[in-house]
Amino acid sequence: MTKEENVKKLTDMVADFVGFIGKKLPDDVVAKLKELGDKETDPLPKVLYETMTRNQDLAVALDRPSCQDTGVIQFWLKCGTNFPYINELEALLKEAVVQATFATPLRHNSVETFDEYNTKRNVGKGTPTVWWDIVPNSDQCEIYAYMAGGGCTLPGKAMVLMPGAGYEGVTDFVLDQMTSYGLNACPPLLVGVGVATSVETAALLSKKALMRPIGSHNENANAAKMEQLLEDGINAIGLGPQGMGGKFSVMGVNIENTARHPSAIGVAVNVGCWSHRRGHIVVDKDLNVTCDTHSTWKFNG
Amino acid sequence: MIEIRGNKKVLITPVSAEDLADIHIGDIVWLDGDLMTCRDVAHRRLIEYGRELPYDIRDKAIFHAGPIVRKIEGTEDDYEMVSIGPTTSMRMEKFEYDFVKETGVRVIVGKGGMGPNTERACKEFGAIHCVFPAGCAVVAATEVLKIQEHHWDELGMPETLWCNKVKEFGPLIVSIDPEGRNLFEEQKVVYNEKKEAAKQAIYPEVKFIK
């Protein structure tokens, strides 16, 4: 195949995957929702979980996006410097989003700022979002794709705490956001927390934290302990499905961290809704693809 | 009108204030009839710019929602509902008292809670706010029989006023009732108490700065 044909194949592959994640939740989310739903006993949360489950089944059966808000599409790349399509990647992701917009179909969610018009193709200045991590001496590319819906984007917040506030301040920051904005962001939530040195480092980590599997833990023992403490603490609030009350509030809390300036604790929170539409594929130099988030996705390109 | 259908309490448009008199927060109801999507820009146009809505919603229902629709092949301008679910109602809060007053809308469907403006509107004009389970957009789409009209298309797919005929649309959980009681606000009091207790339990465990 020519380079051009391969670029088209990769474009088709990404477009297909983006459409797919809008219709079928990742395996870890499906399992966690079932676990949480099975433990509810009151009629209201039970009706809500039943409706949510029925919706996911219908989405697959009718081949439609399970939630109407298919979000702004965001990609996080871990791309090898020797990946043969590194130069074409950013442009082809944009093209893939346009393709998926019409094929799936996706809702038109890209509004140009200041000129304030909807591009009606889901692409615009800086959308889809693409974050690059460059991996030296690798010839493969990992692609995380995420549908950032409006509801679960709203609770996003970042700030810099004084060290005197400590991790108690981080606790306040995260928990206060749950009862003000989190309850409207379609619980049970996956909560991503960034602890770093400034607003932008913490903010990006809080989004990357949402790409981690549910049930995984930060490799630092204290951070992992804090993930569990926050998860238990937010669950104790009892937001329940849709924020209307229940035994749980979250699917999990994932913390990502870096070192910090001695005078500052950068902290950020980002949440994923119960309909946490993220997927992860690994593409090798010959465009063989594997997917560890969705066992039923197959690309027939 | 209200009809009890099996174990479902179904509101049928036109709905009157009397129909809603015995509806309370936490109740689960369903809707038959006319439901128009209406969100940020439409509220702003009516309230801030005084532009009249091109579709009469008196005694009917609105849905804070921006759907995915698909043109029906072979037609000039007919669309089918693909995926429709509620968006965050709180964004419309600042407009909602005047909106209900101006339009006479009876049932507001959305996601999450609303605030004092909407409580006041529900109490004064005999209206309710309900939550459709968010993220359940295919369930909702299959309860839309037909898109009858659409207006203000220039706003793009999410913001267009899609005027739907619906059948047993729900479950709708009543979050503000005609007495002005607010389920989310009452829950928030409980959530905040529990949150304070949770914080106190976490603090001694996270003293990582020695």
pLDDT in tens, chain B (210 residues): 999 999 999 999 999 999 999 999 999 999 999 999 999 999 999 999 999 999 999 999 999 998 989 999 999 999 999 999 999 899 999 999 999 999 999 999 999 999 999 999 999 999 999 999 999 999 999 999 999 999 999 998 889 999 999 999 999 999 999 999 999 999 999 999 999 999 999 999 999 998
What is the pLDDT at residue A300? 82
What's the pLDDT at B6? 95
Mutation test of the interface with chain B: which of A62, A68, A70, choosing the one with the most B Cβ atoms within 10 A? A68
**Binary contact (B112, A222; C-beta < 8 A):** no
Q: Which of B66, B88, B135 sits opposite A107 (nearest CB)?
A: B66
Q: What is the CA radius of gyration of chain B?
A: 19
Q: Do B195 and A62 touch (CB under 8 A)?
A: no
Active-site residues of B, by number, are 43
Q: Per the CB < 8 Å rule, is A105 touching B158?
A: no
Closest chain A CA to residue B112: A184
**Does any CB of chain A come closer than 8 Å to the CB of residue B137?**
yes
Nearest Cα residue in chain A from B156: A118
CB contact under 8 A, A233 and B202: yes
Nearest to B208 among A167, A176, A237 (CB): A167
Q: Which residue in chain A is spatially nearest to B134 when comparing CA positions? A: A186
Q: Tell me if A151 and B203 make a contact (CB, 8 A cut-off).
A: no
- ipTM comes to 0.93
In percent, the amount of chain A with pLDDT more than 90 equals 97
Pairing of the two strands B28-37 and B8-12: parallel
DSSP-assigned states of every residue in A128-156: SEEEEEEETT---EEEEEEEE-HHHHTT-
Q: Which domains does chain A have, with CATH numbers?
A: 3-23+66-149+277-291 (3.30.1330), 151-272 (3.30.1330)
pTM tops 0.90, yes or no: yes
Give residue A221's pLDDT. Answer: 98
User: Residue B21 has which token pair?
Assistant: 């008199």
Domains and CATH numbers, chain B: 2-183 (3.20.130.10)
Strand locations in chain B (E): 2-5, 8-12, 28-37, 61-63, 68-71, 79-83, 107-110, 128-131, 144-151, 161-176
Contacts of B28 in chain A (CB under 8 A): 44, 47
Interchain contact, A118 vs B206, CB within 8 Å: no
Of B133, B159, B197, the CB nearest to A51: B133
Counting Cα atoms < 13 Å in the Cβ hemisphere of B1 gives 9
Q: Return all residues near A172 (Cβ < 8 A) that are at least 6 apart.
A: A165, B199
- The answer to whether the CB atoms of B67 and A67 lie below 8 A apart is no
Q: Is A82 helix (H, G, I), strand (E, B) or coil?
A: coil
> Quick one: pLDDT band at residue A149, thresholds 50, 70, 90?
very high
- Name the residue of chain B whose CA is nearest to A60's CA: B138
